[in-house]
Chains A and B, each alone.
Chain A
Amino acid sequence: GNSVTQMEGPVTLSEEAFLTINCTYTATGYPSLFWYVQYPGEGLQLLLKATKADDKGSNKGFEATYRKETTSFHLEKGSVQVSDSAVYFCALSGTGFQKLVFGTGTRLLVSP
């Protein structure tokens, strides 16, 4: 079945540091890939998505590129802020009646 593997956290960075959170997936066919973010005490929000190979999703300075050859969708941001502290979830969804499969989440802590 489909699955998502993302790096264990927490990831601890200083403000303005470069961020990478790794995500790899296993899926049949051509899934859509997502990054969701969960701020403390809140529900999940879509951060960005990509629906086909080589697509780049971007939002709020975050980027991720759908790499079919390496089955990866790593999240990057050039300069993190304290307000980016949250839990980040990589997820995939197939077509048809397919459920959204989440990774285990990676907590990001950014200090001033």
Chain B
Amino acid sequence: EAAVTQSPRSKVAVTGGKVTLSCHQTNNHDYMYWYRQDTGHGLRLIHYSYVADSTEKGDIPDGYKASRPSQENFSLILELASLSQTAVYFCASTTGNYAEQFFGPGTRLTVL
């Protein structure tokens, strides 16, 4: 079973502050993804990465940066957190079958 972990599991941040969400996978997957989910809605893709040291923009990248320092780790960075970024953030990884993704447990971010 694929293992994807996220930290922290929840966080409260202040508007204008910097937030870093971390994701770690132990399955040697090349592909990693960051999604956000707003209450009552489906997930939306923020950033993704095919290989270490490279990231790509997803469908809603504005206000977010991503970093992939190694195959196992993928971070999502909010340089200036805003109220609208309050959401649950999910990390996922996959191998050759890009649509069969393995998700982490999520990080609940509240920006005040």
Q: Is the pairing of A and B real?
A: no
B residues near A (Cβ < 8 Å) are: none
